[in-house]
């Protein structure tokens, strides 16, 4: 049976993710108490269900820390993958303000005392500490619900027998992606932004690509990143990872990092050694960001 665990910080998009998986044919369960997870899996397995998605959060306190152990028990019998959704505190506060919904931890059910939204978010981050390390992380701070649905469905529909590689461009001015496993800084490459004819284009546009490939820095960084990933990818795969996110940043995430990600993605797509591995690319900070797969 194929099992997807959706977890993460409240307000980061777990409901959106669960609805997307439901539309994709998964049997979905929301807000399941952690102590019921194993029995639910056993029951649905005996009923002949072949793919389920379960959303689990920290509203029942420290019991969420039992999740890694339960996953270890289940993974020998079933294919299980965990996705951790996260977002900046600023983004979460804005979302809760817009929806006027109460944070699940804002009220202490033991003594009925209340705490501020910021304190509730901080408490949840503390309770969830370490959970993200066993999961594929997605930072939803700057993406729409539709984009999250698209990214999630691309991820879960990839072959699960091999590690999935995600090449991601971003702008340092908007922060490093929370889901990044490896980060490269491309800000030392000459910036097309300072060329008037290129300022309003992106690394997807041929004039920007032509400008960059004429620079020694761009070509050298591509060679070095390609060599690093090619050398270490087999080690990450041997370590049992399901996903590896390679993030490349420049100042605004529009030119240099985009062109590098595109070239790396294309190179791995045609690589005799790695073309069999599922690969994705996304440009986080380009308007109407999309995700693409091999």
Q: Is the pLDDT of residue 37 over 50?
A: yes
Whose CA is closest to 123, among 135, 134, 115?
115
| Helix intervals (H) in 58-162 | 67-74, 89-99, 117-127, 145-156
Sheet order of strands, 291-293 included: 182-185, 243-250, 164-171, 279-283, 291-293
Q: Where are the domains of the chain?
A: 2-156, 164-293
Q: DSSP class of residue 252?
A: S
Calculate what percentage of the chain has a pLDDT beyond 70. Answer: 92
pLDDT, the chain, mean:
87
- pLDDT 10s digits, 2-12: 899 999 999 99
Please compute the mean of the pLDDT values over residues 120-130 and round it to a whole number.
Answer: 88
Q: Which residues are annotated as a binding site for GTP?
A: 57-60
Assign 250 to helix, strand or coil. strand
The pLDDT assigned to 221 comes to 98
The pLDDT assigned to 62 comes to 67
The pLDDT assigned to 242 comes to 74
Q: Which of 151-155, 192-196, 273-277, 286-290 has the lowest mean pLDDT?
A: 286-290
Buried b (16+ CB within 10 A) or exposed e, 111-150: eeeeeebeebbebbeebbeebbeebbbbbbbbbeeebbbb
CA–CA dist 286, 75 (Å, integer): 37
**196 class by beta-carbon count within 10 Å (0-12 exposed, 13-18 middle, 19+ buried):** exposed
The pLDDT assigned to 66 comes to 86
The pLDDT assigned to 290 comes to 46
CB 247 within 8 Å of CB 176: yes
Q: Which residues are annotated as a binding site for ATP?
A: 8-15
Q: Which CATH class is domain 2-156?
A: alpha beta
**209 class by beta-carbon count within 10 Å (0-12 exposed, 13-18 middle, 19+ buried):** buried
Whole-model pTM: value is: 0.59
Q: Is the pLDDT of residue 289 over 60?
A: no
């Amino acid at each position: 049976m194929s099992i997807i665990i959706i977890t993460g910080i409240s307000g980061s998009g777990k409901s959106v993710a669960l609805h997307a998986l439901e539309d994709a044919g998964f049997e979905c369960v929301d807000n399941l108490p952690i102590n019921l997870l194993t029995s639910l899996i056993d029951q649905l397995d005996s009923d002949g269900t072949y793919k389920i998605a379960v959303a689990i959060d920290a509203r029942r306190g420290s019991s969420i820390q039992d999740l890694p152990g339960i996953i270890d028990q289940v993974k020998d019998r079933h294919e299980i993958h965990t996705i951790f959704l996260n977002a900046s505190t600023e983004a979460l506060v804005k979302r809760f303000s817009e929806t006027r919904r109460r944070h699940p931890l804002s009220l202490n059910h033991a003594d009925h005392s209340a705490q501020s939204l910021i304190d509730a978010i901080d408490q949840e981050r503390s309770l969830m500490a370490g959970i993200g390390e066993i999961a594929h992380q997605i930072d939803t701070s700057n993406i729409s619900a539709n984009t999250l649905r698209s990214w999630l469905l691309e991820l879960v529909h990839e072959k699960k027998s091999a590690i999935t590689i995600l090449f991601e461009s971003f702008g340092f001015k908007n922060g490093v992606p929370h889901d990044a496993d490896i980060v490269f800084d491309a800000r030392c490459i000459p910036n097309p932004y300072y060329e008037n004819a290129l300022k309003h284009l992106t690394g997807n546009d041929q004039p920007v690509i032509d400008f960059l490939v004429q620079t020694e820095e761009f070509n050298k960084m591509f060679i070095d990143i390609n060599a690093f990933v090619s050398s270490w990818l087999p080690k990450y795969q041997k370590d049992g990872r399901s996903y590896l996110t390679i993030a490349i940043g420049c100042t605004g995430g529009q030119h240099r990092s985009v062109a590098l990600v595109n070239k790396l993605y294309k190179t791995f797509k045609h690589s005799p050694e790695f073309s069999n591995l599922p690969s994705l690319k996304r440009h986080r900070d380009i308007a109407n960001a999309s995700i693409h797969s091999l």
